[in-house]
Amino acid sequence: MRNRRVARIIAIILALLMVFSVVWAAIDALTAKAYVTQEEIDKLREEKKEYERRKQEIQSRMNTIEYEKMTEVAKKSVLDDRIILTGMEIDNIDATIEFYVTLIKEKELEVVAAIEREDEQLRKYKTRVRDMEENGIITYLEIVFDSTDFSDLLARLDFVGDIMQADEKTYFNLIAAYDETIAAKEDLELTKQEMEQEKILKEEKYVELQTQLTEAGALIEQIEASFETESALYAAEAEEADRVQREINEKVEELRRQEAAAQASRVRGTGQLLWPCPSGTGISSEYGVRLHPVHGVYRQHWGIDIPAAYGANIIASDSGSVIISEYNSSYGNYIVIDHGNGWTTLYAHMSSRAVSVGTAVNKGQVIGYIGTTGVSTGPHLHFEVSINGEKVDPVKYL
């Protein structure tokens, strides 16, 4: 019975030691991670400086006579570059804030650990003070006067010295623990303040982005206000659309040849297309011939326009392989996916692209984000579908 009780006590002690070791190991691991996270924050700050430097270069370019001599479409490309960089700054700030959220959680754990160490040192100090109050200096005198000879006295004096040093160490350990707690709390508050500064900066950059989007949209509206410039713009867009379609057809044919040579199958779609912008609010411009609202002339529109919030997700309408991922003055940032069996889809005016040429994408995978690059007056997705090299109405296949 006694042996069983002893064994139980030993088991409890070992369990407690294991729990404490796991807790402290977790805290140590988090502390190590915090160092890496701070490095990541510093890296993001350097990237942010680089984006700002590049934007300043663009602004300097916009202030030159050469810029004034550019065509409106060429100017829009410059404005697109500035908008893209501002968007990258916002993404950078979002990533920084995410790191700060993690860092704050880690520092909160550090504060808890510091408080626990302080409480433990305070408990030890209180215990020692209570013992001194109960025994007083008599304890030390008894140790000295109970000595039997001079050698014993010297040994006892050394022992008293050890006790006094231990008392002093207990006191200084308490002070050190208290200082650590204060430092941990101050560090936590500083980190919180830095995160709040990032949030304020994000709001400022978002306002800046909206101003830039308005300026870029006004430039296209200015072009379309004149029949001559609008007609020239439409002709350039139509020519660019034909060129892109020829490039699509060539790349699809090249993939077929590669497939035959390798005797391998490509990533193929299902033939049933998903709505390419989950948060899109319907269709603002349909496929087919449309009447220009100002000039009263008919223009062919080779896809559908889906308005959505700037930066909203654009997904692959079906599985396939990315055959084009680039920027041009008409489509802006755009991506083309080959789904096999002669099917391709095109996604245009993106703020940024999330996949590159050669990437195999799954149906529903995020491939880019809503923007207004190229010939566009506001954030939306221009979506095209081609079957066997011919553009078709996407609505019929969604």
The DSSP line for 177-192 is HHHHHHHHHHHHHHHH
**Which residue stretches of the chain have pLDDT < 50?**
1-27, 29-34, 138
Class of domain 226-397: mainly beta
Could you tell me the CA-to-CA distances from 350 to 83, 137, 311 in Å, in that order? 11, 82, 8
Q: What does residue 4 show for φ and ψ, rounded to 5 degrees?
A: -65, -40
Whole-angstrom Cα distance, residue 234 to residue 228? 10
In this predicted model, what pLDDT tens digit does every residue of 21-60 receive, in sequence order?
Answer: 433 444 454 444 445 567 788 888 898 889 999 999 998 9
What is the token pair recorded at 274?
């998903």
Whole-angstrom Cα distance, residue 205 to residue 214? 14
Closest to 337 (Cα-Cα) out of 369, 302, 362: 362
Contacts (Cβ under 8 Å, ≥6 apart) of 59 = 82
What is the token pair recorded at 172?
């200084």
Closest to 128 (Cα-Cα) out of 321, 120, 336: 120
In 3-state terms, what secondary structure has residue 397?
Answer: helix
Whole-angstrom Cα distance, residue 346 to residue 240? 14
In sequence order, the β-bridge partners of residue 304 are: 383
**Cβ(335)–Cβ(354) below 8 Å:** no
Domain ranges in the chain are 2-222, 226-397
Q: Is this structure's pTM higher than 0.75?
A: no
Whole-angstrom Cα distance, residue 51 to residue 61? 15
Whole-angstrom Cα distance, residue 369 to residue 235? 27
Closest to 379 (Cα-Cα) out of 135, 87, 139: 87
Which of the 8 DSSP states describes residue 14?
H
How many other C-beta atoms can be found within 10 angstroms of the C-beta atom of residue 336?
26
**Polymer length in residues for the chain:** 398
Q: How far apart are the first and last CA of the chain?
A: 77
Token pair 């030390």 is found at 140
In this predicted model, what pLDDT tens digit does every residue of 296-312 receive, in sequence order?
Answer: 677 888 999 999 999 99
Note the Cα 361 to chain centre separation in Å. 21
Closest to 87 (Cα-Cα) out of 363, 352, 383, 362: 352
How many other C-beta atoms can be found within 10 angstroms of the C-beta atom of residue 89?
23
CATH topology of domain 2-222: Helix Hairpins (1.10.287)
Provide the pLDDT for residue 179.
84
Q: What does residue 339 show for φ and ψ, rounded to 5 degrees?
A: -105, 5
| Strands annotated E in the chain | 288-291, 298-301, 304-307, 313-315, 320-328, 332-340, 343-350, 352-353, 360-361, 366-369, 380-387, 390-392
